[in-house]
Chain A
Amino acid sequence: RKEVEQDPGPFNVPEGATVAFNCTYSNSASQSFFWYRQDCRKEPKLLMSVYSSGNEDGRFTAQLNRASQYISLLIRDSKLSDSATYLCVVKPGQNFVFGPGTRLSVLP
């Protein structure tokens, strides 16, 4: 089993749609959690950290369920510029472990 698993995707949604990504992790010692975004042929960039109580940043909402070892990302009112691959990342120790990513295409 992979250490971090995500929805396989791709997700093709119209502009304005709400889309949710799911992620599960296997290492219960993981202490820090993130969503990164990677545009085509670019480096990954931090989208947001994920806190136990859940957190929101504009149109983006992240949730963490430690008991289920589950992380989610909700994007509301999708924009064309949201098209990218979304990477779930957990940090059990010194290492940042990346999930395989879920590709999102927002269509006009």
Chain B
Amino acid sequence: DTAVSQTPKYLVTQMGNDKSIKCEQNLGHDTMYWYKQDSKKFLKIMFSYNNKELIINETVPNRFSPKSPDKAHLNLHINSLELGDSAVYFCASSPRRAGANVLTFGAGSRLTVL
């Protein structure tokens, strides 16, 4: 009964390929996020969706496209992978209501681009 689950956990692929990471939460949260943690361990927001609507879109290359089919799912598709895309990608979710600001993370998806 994992709260935020993302797949795959590990992904090794060649430059130029297209890949997707899926995320699902069963917490009933309204807001979902994608964070990128690079080799220097810095966690940086990429996207956020609130009830299927994009609310945060940081400076991320167009090759990254999030998709939220419903409020429990937020997938990340990456086109034309580059070496610099190698990182751990964390999905997270939080409730929207005031005073309930907890961010719950998935276990992460480690992407290695060769």
Contact = CB atoms under 8 A, between A and B. Distances in A.
A and B found bound together? yes
Interface of A: 32, 34, 36, 42-46, 49, 85, 87, 89, 91, 94-98, 100-101
A45 B55 CA distance: 23
Q: Which of A34, A43, A94, A96 has the most CB of B within 10 A?
A: A43
Interface residues of B, number: 24
A14 to B, nearest CB: 24
Contacts of A45: 105
Interface string B27-49: 00001010100001111110010
Contacts of A43: 90, 105-108
Contacts of A97: 45
A49 B101 CA distance: 9
Contacts, number: 49
Nearest to A2: B42
Interface of B: 31, 33, 35, 40-45, 48, 50, 55-56, 90, 92, 94, 101-108
A32 B55 CA distance: 18
Contacts of B31: 94
A100 B105 contact: no
A95 B101 CA distance: 10
A85 B50 CA distance: 29
B58 to A, nearest CB: 8
Nearest to B105: A43
